[in-house]
Structure 1
Amino acid sequence: MTTISLSHLTFGYDGQGDLLFDDASFDLDTSWRLGLVGRNGRGKTTLLKLLQGKLPYQGRLTVPVPLNYFPQPIEDEDQLTLYAMQAISEAEQWQLERELNLLAVDPDVLWRPYASLSGGEQTKVRLALLFTDTTHFALIDEPTNHLDAASRAKVAAYLKLKQGFIVVSHDRHFLDAVCDHTLAIDKRKISLTQGNYSVYEAAKKQQDAAELAENAKLKKDIGRLRETAAEKGRWAATREKDKYGDPHKRGSGAIGDTGFIGARAARVMQKRKNLEHRMDKAIDDKSHLLQNIEEVAPLTIATQPDHHEVYLSVSELTLAYDGKPLFEPLSFDLHRGERLAIVGPNGSGKSSLMAALLGQFTGEVQGTVVLKSSVTISQVRQLYPDNRGLLKDFAANRQLDLEAFLNNLRKLGLERNAFATPIEQLSMGQQKKVELAKSLATPANLLIWDEPVNYLDLFNQDQLTASILAYQPTMLFVEHDQDFIAKTATRVVPLKPLNR
């Protein structure tokens, strides 16, 4: 058995406040299929970098195996895929073909330019490259982004054939299918669970429930002890006056048995001190609770329902490039209050459809798209290179309610240092939160969202789901996450591709 060992590991980025890892210690067996989970910004990718020796740290870190990392940087995306892969590795063609066959990918993709592959094909090719090297331990960082449900299932089945890796993902179904151990970077501790994500989640919910119950009991006890101690303090103070008598009556000799009164008052004061000691202990016990419970506040959505019953009508719509249709003719109406999910495999034309609905498609269009002229739209896009500059200026340039915009970012868990960092310098997860918060703060009748939960952690996904169900906005969205679709969509429209 080979073990990766971390002992008293301490690390934090300069100028970013709290430490990401503070005296962390744990061991990882390299035969495990380990899921690495945690909220955005908690240090998952940082941990992978530490394992690779890319960052300085305090403590001891023992990695007795060579490591390979996904996603690998591609040096020249215009090369044929085979040559692009061989430029960054020593993989043989037959090795790549073997792994691609296991992933149910036609090996002919090796003879196409890498840049021409779909996002899903690029992901699978790089995963195939990762596992051509059987001597290295694999670190896999978010392989499911942009993959359709069928591709996620194929990648999960592929990884189950492999022994020994660490995978970061925000797809709970994928983690359940793949992992036999889970390492969670929680709010105040790192926990290692034998089992998949659902096993970890059930254990955490049980622990959280127990802590909440204990916290409620201690809170009640502290209140009762505080009131009892106060009553005894008031009684002792009154008896202390009795010991010397009422100063207005001293001249008449109205002085009590000072010895008896004093002794009784002393006993009451001691009881009060005992109560205060018990109260201090209860408060100390309480201080150790709830530190690891995630606080996920509801988001606000600036939805503004329109008076029309039907917002959007699509009739016999087909889209094509160079005369090649992307999908079968499509017809649907979007009614006020509906949340319509567009689903289909990678490359079926979902993003092209979104562009066509917004009048931005550059290919050939047949059929009709009728959007009511009074309907206003708020978008979440897959790509947002124009999101730049400081958050305050970004909001001003887009006429956003600054308070609503920043409040949603805080609720989404954007780290404090990010508020003073230009958007283009933020991580992909942080940039996604900016794009989402922008849409949430934009007054609109209709939300058109393209893969809204990509890069969002599981807590943010649940947070977004809860807010959608609370506000009931009219939506049309593309998404591959089956859990999000099942919980939020009122209707599903499948795209049936013609090029497959």
Structure 2
Amino acid sequence: MKKAQNTLKRTEAGIEQKQQLLKNVETPQVLTLNYHPLSKTFVTVQDLQVIRGERQLLNSALNFELKPGERLVLQGLNGSGKSTILHALQGETFLISGGTVHWAHQVKISYVSQTFDNLSGSLQEYADQYHLELSDLLNMLRKLGFERQTFQVDLSQMSMGQQRKLAIARSLCEPANVYLWDEPLNYLDVITRQEIETLITESQPTMIVVDHDTTFTEAIGTKYLSI
């Protein structure tokens, strides 16, 4: 009788352990970001005008401030100059034909580009380029749904959706005070879109975002500027 009871206890313990392991596998990994908030105005833009080549892009000069916790959404038609503005804000002065951009001292910007034309090499090389631990980058990619076999693929051979997830994973991993994201939801599946939206609304980072998904921008934006 005693032997049978011990056997039953071991069996129940084994079942409980397997159920816990299964639960851990099925529990979704929550996205995180390496955000370091500041307590001062991040950037002040006064009478900004931008150009592409010799063409003036904006109908009127831009004036705005970005304060802690604010998420500015730039709105406008394709080709109106939204991406150019993001580049100009990062110090590409040849794009600026007038006005000033003043960032707070030592602000760290994390930028996600709209395009990845020059992306190539291994994940290790990519991590090294951005001074990240490869393990941190891989872990974030797994949270974004990357299959492990994809880790060995050259970056140039990845799909547009995979390249987009890679850029977002890198941005979430690197330490930053403010995020500049140019159409971050392009080529992403619905689940990943919802995860990113949840991350932003819960973490409340400071951002400037360009995206044509109005459901997303209305959910995460705190102020809007039409170009």
- TM band (smaller chain): 0.7 to 0.9
Which residue pairs with 2:140 in the alignment?
A: 408
* Alignment CA distance shift 1:356-1:331 (3 Å): same
Q: 1:456 aligns with which of 162, 169, 188?
A: 188
**Distance (Å, rounded) in 1 between the aligned partners of 2:176 and 2:155:** 24
* Alignment CA distance shift 1:296-1:489 (3 Å): farther
Which residue pairs with 1:313 in the alignment?
A: 44
Q: Is the 8 A contact 2:180 2:209 kept in 1?
A: yes
Q: Is the 8 A contact 1:380 1:436 kept in 2?
A: yes
After superposition, what is the alpha-carbon deviation per residue over 1:122-165, rounded to whole angstroms, capped at 9, x for unaligned?
Answer: xxxxxxxxxxxxxxxxxxxxxxxxxxxxxxxxxxxxxxxxxxxx
1:40-51 equivalences under 5 Å are none
Q: Is the 8 A contact 2:114 2:183 kept in 1?
A: yes
Q: Is the 8 A contact 1:296 1:463 kept in 2?
A: no
Gaps of 5+ in 2: 13-18
- Aligned to 2:225, the other structure's residue is in SS state strand
Q: 1:379 aligns with which of 111, 132, 148?
A: 111
- Aligned to 1:480, the other structure's residue is in SS state coil
Which residue pairs with 2:15 in the alignment?
A: none
- Aligned to 2:142, the other structure's residue is in SS state helix
**Distance (Å, rounded) in 2 between the aligned partners of 1:380 and 1:339:** 15
After superposition, what is the alpha-carbon deviation per residue over 1:353-374, rounded to whole angstroms, capped at 9, x for unaligned?
Answer: 1111112254452111111131
Q: Is the 8 A contact 2:88 2:96 kept in 1?
A: no
After superposition, what is the alpha-carbon deviation per residue over 1:362-418, rounded to whole angstroms, capped at 9, x for unaligned?
Answer: 445211111113101111001223432111222123211323211110010012211
TM-score normalised by length of structure 2: 0.84
Which residue pairs with 1:326 in the alignment?
A: 58
**Distance (Å, rounded) in 2 between the aligned partners of 1:295 and 1:342:** 35
* Alignment CA distance shift 1:419-1:323 (3 Å): closer
1:351 matched to 2:76? The reply is: no
1:477 matched to 2:209? The reply is: yes
- Aligned to 2:107, the other structure's residue is in SS state coil
Amino acid in structure 2 at the alignment position of 1:477? V
1:383-462 equivalences under 5 Å are 383-462=115-194
Amino acid in structure 2 at the alignment position of 1:449? W
Q: Is the 8 A contact 1:314 1:368 kept in 2?
A: yes
- Considering only CA atoms, is the larger Rg found in Structure 1 or Structure 2? 1
Which residue pairs with 1:31 in the alignment?
A: none
Which residue pairs with 2:29 in the alignment?
A: 297
Equivalenced residues, count: 216
After superposition, what is the alpha-carbon deviation per residue over 1:438-473, rounded to whole angstroms, capped at 9, x for unaligned?
Answer: 111111111111011111111001111111123221
Q: 2:197 aligns with which of 450, 462, 465?
A: 465
* Alignment CA distance shift 1:399-1:363 (3 Å): closer
Q: Is the 8 A contact 2:48 2:96 kept in 1?
A: no
* Alignment CA distance shift 1:325-1:395 (3 Å): closer
The alpha-carbon deviation at position 338 of structure 1 amounts to 0.9
* Alignment CA distance shift 1:363-1:401 (3 Å): same
After superposition, what is the alpha-carbon deviation per residue over 1:202-228, rounded to whole angstroms, capped at 9, x for unaligned?
Answer: xxxxxxxxxxxxxxxxxxxxxxxxxxx
**Distance (Å, rounded) in 1 between the aligned partners of 2:75 and 2:128:** 35
The alpha-carbon deviation at position 489 of structure 1 amounts to 1.0
* Alignment CA distance shift 1:487-1:477 (3 Å): same
Q: Is the 8 A contact 2:88 2:95 kept in 1?
A: no
**Distance (Å, rounded) in 1 between the aligned partners of 2:109 and 2:145:** 25
After superposition, what is the alpha-carbon deviation per residue over 1:276-318, rounded to whole angstroms, capped at 9, x for unaligned?
Answer: 9xx9xxxxxx9xxx9xxx86422121111234x2001111212
Amino acid in structure 1 at the alignment position of 2:178? L
Gaps of 5+ in 1: 1-232, 238-271, 280-285, 496-500
User: Which consecutive aligned stretches of 4+ in structure 1 deviate over 4 angstroms post-superposition?
Assistant: 233-237
**Distance (Å, rounded) in 2 between the aligned partners of 1:411 and 1:370:** 35
- Aligned to 2:42, the other structure's residue is in SS state strand
Which one scores higher on RCO, CA 8 angstroms, separation ≥ 6? 2
Q: Is the 8 A contact 2:57 2:80 kept in 1?
A: no
The alpha-carbon deviation at position 425 of structure 1 amounts to 1.1
1:73-222 equivalences under 5 Å are none
TM-score normalised by length of structure 1: 0.40
Q: Is the 8 A contact 1:343 1:494 kept in 2?
A: yes
1:28-47 equivalences under 5 Å are none
**Distance (Å, rounded) in 2 between the aligned partners of 1:494 and 1:438:** 28
